[in-house]
Amino acid sequence: MGDIRISTALHASADLAQEVTGLVQQLSTTAAPLTVDALAELIASDSATLLIASSDTCVVGMLTLITYRIPTGIRARIEDVVVNESARGKGVAFELTRAAVDLARNVGARTVDLTSRPSRESANRLYQRAGFSPRDSLTYRRTLDGYASPMQTGQAISY
C-alpha cells in the first residue's frame, strides 16, 4: 500500500457512492447502500465532513466529522470510522482521526467526542493513542419505529 492521503469528499459520484457503500457494509450489516443523491446531500451538509483515506487509486477508509453549534459552544463528533479490511493495521484510522481532530480545532470546537463498543479493542487502543480518554457517561439510544432515513430515500426533511 502506497502513501495514505486524507482528503475531504467534495463531489458525489457513482464511483464514490459505491466505495463508501463498500466501507459502510464492513461497518454495519444493516446499512442500506448509499445513493449518489444521499452522498451529495451528506457532502453538501454544513454540519458533516466526509473524510476519505485513499492509497494509489482506491479508497481505503473513511470517517465522518460532525460539527454543530449549541448554546454552550461548538461541538464535534466523530462517526462512521471504517477502514477496508485489506488496509487495517497500517495507520489509516489514526490518520483519519488526526485529520478530524485538526478540522474540529479549526472550526473552534474545544472537544471531540466519539463512541466505540468495548469489544472493539483495537479501535479503543487507537483512540487512546490519538489522545482520547473514556468519559464517565452513558450513551442512550431510542430507535424510532417506521423511520426511513432521508439519506436512504433521497427525500428532503421539512418541519
Per-residue pLDDT tens for 6-60? 999 999 999 999 999 999 999 998 989 999 999 999 999 999 999 999 988 789 9
Extended beta strands in 9-159, E state: 48-55, 58-70, 73-83
CB 9 within 8 A of CB 50: yes
Per-residue pLDDT tens for 77-114? 999 999 999 999 999 999 999 999 999 999 999 999 99
pLDDT value for 149: 61
